[in-house]
Structure 1
Amino acid sequence: MSLPEEDLTCPVCCDIFVDPVLLSCSHSFCRICLKRCWDTGIRECPVCRRKAPKSSPPSNLALKNVCEALLLVKNQCAEALEDKMNCSLHGERLKLFCLVDKQPICVVCQYSKLHKSHSYSPVEEAVLDCKDELALSLKMLQDKLENLKRIQKTSAVMSTYIKSQAGETQRLIRSQFEQLHQMLSQEESDRLAAVKQEEEEKIAGMKDKIKELSAEVLSLTETISVIQEQLKEEDMVLLENFKATDDRSKSFVLGSDNMSGLLIDTTKHLCNLKYIVWEKMMDHIDYTPVTLDPNTAHPCLILSDNLTSLHYSKQPSCCPDNPERFHMSAEVVAMSPLGSGSHQWVVETGSNQDWLLGVASLSVPRNAEISARPENGFWTLCFRDGEFRAMTSPPTPLTLSRMPKQIKVQLDYNKGTVSFVDPADNTAIFTFTHTFTETLLPYFYTQSSHPLRIMPEKVLVTMLRQQ
């Protein structure tokens, strides 16, 4: 094990021991240093002041060997450093730094073919420039390290959040399918009950029919029996009873023998059953043309379970710091990218007194607070402090004849228009005109606890019949 250099230093000259000697007090000194101290007439240890014997102190051979080995290594290092300061090709001092090849050179290298057309600077200046450049690189790497640590920390949070998000999403899926199951189960029960009711009605009708037929059979049997008996009587008796017997036979009228319509109307119950049930379910199922993306919502925005409404809360939710999320302002976008064609959706504003609605470019910054203006990628209508404004540059105040409770947003990407309309009477509020070159997203902002709600649309089913 190597000793620290301070343990190999003479306490008198403060240099590496040269020919060290050992006193009885265990302190060591260079022989010549100890002699100089004792030449003053005081023969004692320069460190602990303990009196030394008159005999010459012995050499500390072990310490001497270690010190000589250390000096040898230091001399070799000095020689190696000296070699590094000289050009390996020409042996000259390296005084210049080639700015092209990024390496030190000597004055002979300066005029060689390899470096003749290059730019140079003195080594002293190059050292300062290189240190500055390395310091800048160090700062960039340190920033990257801090960013990586932040991402690493965020990743751990996101892993936990993903599990929570997956569990909540599965719960909502089960809830919605449970509603569908309940509707189907109710429809199944109703249709089975209808078959059961028809069965009971048909059976009751058949019982009445059988009872009626039984009575008619009995009556007809008795009449036949009377006639047969009359045919056996004497001629005069037959003639006397003929009128009564004939009237009885002719007065017998059979009931209805129509047996149609007595069976279960199977076709009524099974014809296009799945389609009819599906069409009926459409009356209970909402379709919204725009669905909010919870991964973009500011932590203070609360979204509904079906992702069609939002409101502001002063208590932020626990959500990860992912790049898609708006971090500075209470904003959220929908998940439907709009890159061509015509699109529209209606938003119920209700009692909300602080909102912005419209569209935003896909690339708008999520981690900086910027004005919702067209030059920043926003085309929006604003309602704040009781006033409507189109967010142009500068904003355009709008005067409306009445306060709309709903706002229809209409985008025609190909024509380059974003229009805002009062759907109650289709009154135009404002229209932006712009040549769009980037994908757009439906955009929402609010700092009100009253919700903004995307209205569902009625779904129409059209059958295509072959001619």
Structure 2
Amino acid sequence: MIMSLPEEDLTCPVCCDIFTDPVLLSCSHSFCRTCLKRCWDTGIRECPVCRKKASKSNPLSNLALKNVCEAVVEAKRNSVVVLEQQMNCSLHGEKLKLFCVVDKWPICVVCQTSKLHKSHECSPVEEAALDCKDELSLCLRSLQDKLEKLKRIHRTSADMFMYIKNQATETQRLIKSQFEQLHKVLYEEESTRLAAVKKEEQGKIARMKDKFKELSAEVSSIAETIAVIQTELKEDDMVLLKNFKDTHDRSKSLTLGSDDMSGVLIDVTEHLCNLKYRIWEKMLEHIDYSPVTLDPNTAHPCLILSDDLTSLHYSKQPGCCPDNPERFHMSAEVVGMTSLGSGSHRWVVDTGSNQDWLLGVASTSVPRNAEVSARPENGFWTLRFRDGEFMAMTSPPSLLTVSRTPKQVKVQLDYNKGMVSFLDPADDTLIYTFEQTFTETLLPYFYTQSSHPLRIMPEKVLVTMLRQ
């Protein structure tokens, strides 16, 4: 509390030093007793500061100020002693003139000859101080860089939070959209099959009604004939004989309709046999399979991906996306989401009117925050099309001659054989093949600076029945 007082408040205006035996005048100014006496010995009894006349009586001692000043002087004296102690060796009392580089501690000349430091490298404290300052400066810059990086991450954390929420909302919307499409197909198929049952029901009922009418007519006709015969049998013999031919012919002319009732029931088997499988098989006509799906978390901000993540194109207006480590920041690149570490893989890319693209594969460890050439030594095996020319991105790049410019390119990877091939899928004409022994997993790689899209072609799903 005492050391917190400004020292100028404890300084005599005459000697400009801390008060010694301070006295207080009626004007409230304080002075050292000896300083005030020296001023008054000139014959003028007035305040040396405000020139106010002082009384002839001796000034009163300022005991409170005296106690504070003595405490301050004592504290300064103690601090000097502590400082002197800090400058001396605590073991030998000698001045600390050396610095042990091994133990990183100041020592005296006696310590240097002791067993504890005899074999250690030592340097003068002046040189050691410069070296330590340089080392601490490097640490300071490193910590300042880390602090700035953390501050930058902290500043973008709110944006990252909102981006994650927007990602989740958009992903849910796309999932609902695709399920709505599937639901629509199912509802249409359900309606079609229910309508087929209804139609068959109406047809079978109509057939049964016609059959019922036919049977009713036959029953009525036979009943009338029976009644006629019964009447004739009651007539006289002559009348019976005269009417016999007509009655007999009438009874013989009656023929029964068909009594075949097969096929009149609903064909339940036709409607229910393997129903779920047949519906699923029908749905395959509306479903495509993409061998490669783009990873939006790796896409450069200027790349626009389609909702189904199978096509990309370049936009001069960068999108709003976070600065995450997986993202390509220097060039308009994106990779597929599935790592390829063994076996054979192939996909076809429709290049269309795009005149500036690179296709191929890249190692998972390729730098995302630095611009490097897409060449094998950097972990890229790619084919480039620019200014109407095909180039295999070897070191240096190799100009390729093709008989025609394909609108589609097939990328074919055989990881185990170490081969990346590019073909024209129209007739499987080989454009170029890289041969390399791969040491890490690969990812499908895409680059473009064209507004015309690159589109990964879908593949049809083939259903095969496994019979045991």
The alignment's TM-score, normalised by the length of structure 1, stands at 0.95
User: Secondary structure, in 3 states, of the residue corresponding to 2:360?
Assistant: strand
Residue correspondence of structure 1 range 121-140 to structure 2 within 5 A: 121-140=123-142
User: Secondary structure, in 3 states, of the residue corresponding to 1:194?
Assistant: helix
Segment of structure 1 superposing worse, 262-271 or 1-10: 1-10
Aligned to 1:88: 90
Aligned to 2:101: 99
Aligned to 1:438: 440
Task: Please give the alpha-carbon distance, in whole angstroms, between the structure 2 residues aligned to 1:297 and 1:278.
Answer: 34
Segment of structure 1 superposing worse, 8-17 or 314-323: 8-17
Task: Please give the alpha-carbon distance, in whole angstroms, between the structure 2 residues aligned to 1:310 and 1:266.
Answer: 49
Of 347, 371, 378, the match for 1:345: 347
Aligned to 1:295: 297
Deviations 1:200-255 (A, max 9, x none): 00000001111111112222222333333333344444444443333333332221
Aligned to 2:178: 176
Task: Please give the alpha-carbon distance, in whole angstroms, between the structure 2 residues aligned to 1:125 and 1:35.
Answer: 52
User: Secondary structure, in 3 states, of the residue corresponding to 1:244?
Assistant: helix
The one-letter amino acid of 1:190's match is T
Aligned to 1:6: 8
Distance verdict in 2 for CA 1:248–1:453, change over 3 Å: same
Aligned to 1:421: 423
The one-letter amino acid of 1:327's match is H
Q: Does 1:193 align with 2:195?
A: yes
Task: Please give the alpha-carbon distance, in whole angstroms, between the structure 2 residues aligned to 1:40 and 1:405.
Answer: 112
Task: Please give the alpha-carbon distance, in whole angstroms, between the structure 1 residues aligned to 2:383 and 2:12.
Answer: 85
Aligned to 2:31: 29
Distance verdict in 2 for CA 1:238–1:403, change over 3 Å: same
Deviation at 1:43, TM superposition (A): 5.7
Task: Please give the alpha-carbon distance, in whole angstroms, between the structure 1 residues aligned to 2:173 and 2:264.
Answer: 49
What are structure 2's unaligned runs of at least 5 residues?
none
Segment of structure 1 superposing worse, 152-161 or 330-339: 152-161
Deviation at 1:366, TM superposition (A): 1.0
Deviation at 1:179, TM superposition (A): 0.8
Deviation at 1:137, TM superposition (A): 1.2
Task: Please give the alpha-carbon distance, in whole angstroms, between the structure 2 residues aligned to 1:397 and 1:33.
Answer: 98
Aligned to 2:217: 215
Deviation at 1:103, TM superposition (A): 1.2
Segment of structure 1 superposing worse, 257-266 or 380-389: 380-389
Aligned to 1:146: 148
The one-letter amino acid of 1:79's match is V
Deviation at 1:110, TM superposition (A): 1.4
Task: Please give the alpha-carbon distance, in whole angstroms, between the structure 1 residues aligned to 2:251 and 2:351.
Answer: 85
User: Secondary structure, in 3 states, of the residue corresponding to 2:403?
Assistant: coil
Q: Does 1:370 align with 2:372?
A: yes
Aligned to 1:16: 18
User: Secondary structure, in 3 states, of the residue corresponding to 2:257?
Assistant: coil
Residue correspondence of structure 1 range 325-340 to structure 2 within 5 A: 325-340=327-342
User: Secondary structure, in 3 states, of the residue corresponding to 1:382?
Assistant: strand
Task: Please give the alpha-carbon distance, in whole angstroms, between the structure 1 residues aligned to 2:36 and 2:416.
Answer: 99
User: Secondary structure, in 3 states, of the residue corresponding to 2:151?
Assistant: helix
Distance verdict in 2 for CA 1:279–1:16, change over 3 Å: same
Aligned to 1:455: 457
The one-letter amino acid of 1:425's match is D
Q: Does 1:78 align with 2:80?
A: yes
Deviation at 1:331, TM superposition (A): 0.9
Task: Please give the alpha-carbon distance, in whole angstroms, between the structure 1 residues aligned to 2:321 and 2:276.
Answer: 42
Deviations 1:338-375 (A, max 9, x none): 11111111111111111111111111111111111111
The one-letter amino acid of 1:403's match is T
Deviation at 1:112, TM superposition (A): 1.7
Runs of 4+ residues over 6 Å off in structure 1: none
Deviation at 1:42, TM superposition (A): 6.2
Task: Please give the alpha-carbon distance, in whole angstroms, between the structure 2 residues aligned to 1:41 and 1:391.
Answer: 103
Deviation at 1:55, TM superposition (A): 5.5
Task: Please give the alpha-carbon distance, in whole angstroms, between the structure 1 residues aligned to 2:451 and 2:14.
Answer: 82
Segment of structure 1 superposing worse, 227-236 or 323-332: 227-236
Query: RMSD of aligned C-alpha atoms?
Result: 1.9
Distance verdict in 2 for CA 1:376–1:41, change over 3 Å: farther
Aligned to 2:405: 403
Q: Does 1:258 align with 2:291?
A: no
Of 297, 308, 311, the match for 1:309: 311
User: Secondary structure, in 3 states, of the residue corresponding to 1:462?
Assistant: coil
Distance verdict in 2 for CA 1:258–1:118, change over 3 Å: same
The one-letter amino acid of 1:316's match is P
Alignment: residue pair count:
466
Task: Please give the alpha-carbon distance, in whole angstroms, between the structure 2 residues aligned to 1:53 and 1:127.
Answer: 59
The alignment's TM-score, normalised by the length of structure 2, stands at 0.95
Q: State percent identity of aligned pairs.
A: 80
Segment of structure 1 superposing worse, 78-87 or 165-174: 78-87
Task: Please give the alpha-carbon distance, in whole angstroms, between the structure 1 residues aligned to 2:42 and 2:128.
Answer: 53
Task: Please give the alpha-carbon distance, in whole angstroms, between the structure 2 residues aligned to 1:37 and 1:401.
Answer: 113
Deviations 1:383-403 (A, max 9, x none): 111211111111111122112
Deviation at 1:52, TM superposition (A): 4.9
Task: Please give the alpha-carbon distance, in whole angstroms, between the structure 2 residues aligned to 1:119 and 1:95.
Answer: 14
Task: Please give the alpha-carbon distance, in whole angstroms, between the structure 1 residues aligned to 2:309 and 2:102.
Answer: 59
Deviation at 1:41, TM superposition (A): 6.5
Deviation at 1:50, TM superposition (A): 4.5
User: Secondary structure, in 3 states, of the residue corresponding to 1:397?
Assistant: strand
The one-letter amino acid of 2:388's match is G
Segment of structure 1 superposing worse, 233-242 or 74-83: 233-242
Deviations 1:239-272 (A, max 9, x none): 4444333333333222111100000000000000
Task: Please give the alpha-carbon distance, in whole angstroms, between the structure 2 residues aligned to 1:272 and 1:208.
Answer: 33
Residue correspondence of structure 1 range 377-396 to structure 2 within 5 A: 377-396=379-398
Segment of structure 1 superposing worse, 214-223 or 298-307: 214-223
